[in-house]
Amino acid sequence: MTNDKTLPTICIWCGKTKFKPSLEHILPDSLGCPPNFVLRDCVCVSCNNSLGHLDHALLRQFEIPAFMLGIPRKGGKPPSINNWAALGGKRGPNGPELYLNAGPGKIDALGRKLNPANRSNGILNPTIERTGPFGQVSFQQEFGNDPKFIRALYKVGLSATAYWHGSNYMREPTLEAARTFVRTGKGDFKSIILGYEQDNGHHFSPPWSNADKSELVLGMTILGVSFIVDFGVNQTAIARIVAELERQGTLSWTVLPIA
């Protein structure tokens, strides 16, 4: 693939060559976007605004670990949890404070009503264990089952591709179906989710293509969770990587969306 710098810059989403550019954080600020990991001149204001719901879907999935790590919200606001019906959180004088409704009825916390934890709102199996004067509260969060989350991963992946190779790289026909998937949700795209890394950090690598450039994949790690996205419409790279993971007997991975 090539990036012809003699061509006019395009908006990487709508393809327009004449537009008002908008600063685009490749990873939402509220997840701790690395410094200068931004697109400055290749996303139009309209697309930046219209795709904000995908950034929100990404934030929701990572909101709890981002809160526990103390990552500020957009604009430098204090970390909080406000996207889960059964859970709320704020930073108190002694650190993070979690409010979990284990049921059975609604409760008031942090200026809103919390519903009881259950599968329908994605917070599962709340338990309280007491050992002497100490107690431990635990729960599970459903992860990755929001269709918008897959689109959000591809938005990050394609934005990172433009960061590494420039906006005109996005003219490649290989990427058109993935761009459409991000913009409209049309298409059948998957992501491999790999094991959790203990450093809780972000890592992004330039996209990789095979010799004949029929496959283009990108790996990324967001808050310690690693993903692989396949920009090809036939998803052949995903199928090949899954086959290799199975052959090696690798544990702690799955394909999103979960069938």
DSSP string of the chain?
----TTSPP--TTT--SS--B--EESS-GGGTPPTT-EESSSSBHHHHHHTHHHHHHHHHHHHHHHHHTT---GGGPPPEEEEETTEEEEEETTEEEEEE--SSS-EEETTEEEPPP-GGGTEEEEEEEEETTEEEEEEEE--S--HHHHHHHHHHHHHHHHHHH-GGGGG-GGGHHHHHHHHH--S---EEEEEEPTT---EE---EE-TTS--EEEEEEETTEEEEEE-STT-HHHHHHHHHHHHHT--S-EEESP-
Place 23 in a pLDDT band, splitting at 50, 70 and 90: very high
| Same domain (yes/no): 190, 248 | yes
Place 1 in a pLDDT band, splitting at 50, 70 and 90: very low
According to the model, what pLDDT value does residue 200 have?
A: 85
- Domain presence at residue 1: no
According to the model, what pLDDT value does residue 214 have?
A: 77
- Domain presence at residue 79: yes
| Same domain (yes/no): 35, 153 | yes
Give the lowest-confidence range in 1-15, 61-75, 90-104.
1-15
- Domain presence at residue 172: yes
| Same domain (yes/no): 39, 155 | yes
| Same domain (yes/no): 177, 248 | yes
Boundaries of domain holding 216 = 24-54+145-256
- Domain presence at residue 8: no
- Domain presence at residue 13: no
According to the model, what pLDDT value does residue 2 have?
A: 47
Query: Mean pLDDT across the chain, nearest whole number?
Result: 91
According to the model, what pLDDT value does residue 103 have?
A: 87
| Same domain (yes/no): 187, 217 | yes
| Same domain (yes/no): 49, 155 | yes
| Same domain (yes/no): 78, 28 | no
Place 4 in a pLDDT band, splitting at 50, 70 and 90: low
- Domain presence at residue 81: yes
Tell me the whole-structure pTM to 2 decimals.
Answer: 0.92
| Same domain (yes/no): 134, 44 | no
| Same domain (yes/no): 251, 192 | yes
Place 20 in a pLDDT band, splitting at 50, 70 and 90: very high
pLDDT reading at 213 higher than 80: no
Percent of the chain with pLDDT over 70: 97
| Same domain (yes/no): 151, 45 | yes
| Same domain (yes/no): 128, 169 | no
Q: How many domains does the chain have?
A: 2
According to the model, what pLDDT value does residue 135 have?
A: 81
